[in-house]
Amino acid sequence: MNTGKLKRLRAAGWKAGSAGEFLGLSDQEAALVELKLALVAAVREARRKHGLSQTDLAQRMRSSQSRVAKIETGDQSVSLDLIVRALFAAGATRLELQRALSTVA
């Protein structure tokens, strides 16, 4: 077996670390979830701003109405990629994307 690799991994450890640096994975995942929620809100806003229905947006993304609904309701099966694609397809600009990120708690 490859114990050498394990040793190297252990030796490498978690560098750059004061105690506070030892952030749990859950914190990172919480940040990602909050980020997604902020963008999801931006999608709905951008879509309505441009007078599009979910079906309209779905066509622009080459997706389906049900998937757009899942995007906007924060369904856990929806990736960040899809959210951002929806945002652009809904006519949001990069600046609006940045602005949406500012609203993250």
Partner DNA sequence: GCACTATATGTCATATCCGACATATACTGG
Partner DNA sequence: CCAGTATATGTCGGATATGACATATAGTGC
Q: Which residues bind DNA (CB under 7 A)?
A: 2, 5, 8, 11-12, 48, 53-55, 58, 61-67, 69-70, 72-73, 75-79, 81-82
Judged by DSSP in three states, 64 sits in coil
**In contact, 87 and 35? CB cutoff 8 Å:** no
Which residues, numbered 6-25, are part of the site for its own copies (CB under 8 A)? 8-9, 12-16, 21, 24-25
**Among DNA, its own copies, none, partner that 69 touches (CB below 5 to 8 angstroms by kind):** DNA
How far apart (Å, rounded) are the C-alpha atoms in residues 34 and 40?
10
How far apart (Å, rounded) are the C-alpha atoms in residues 86 and 84?
5
By beta-carbon proximity to DNA, the closer residue of 20 and 51 is 51
**Among its own copies, DNA, none, partner that 98 touches (CB below 5 to 8 angstroms by kind):** its own copies
**In contact, 75 and 17? CB cutoff 8 Å:** no
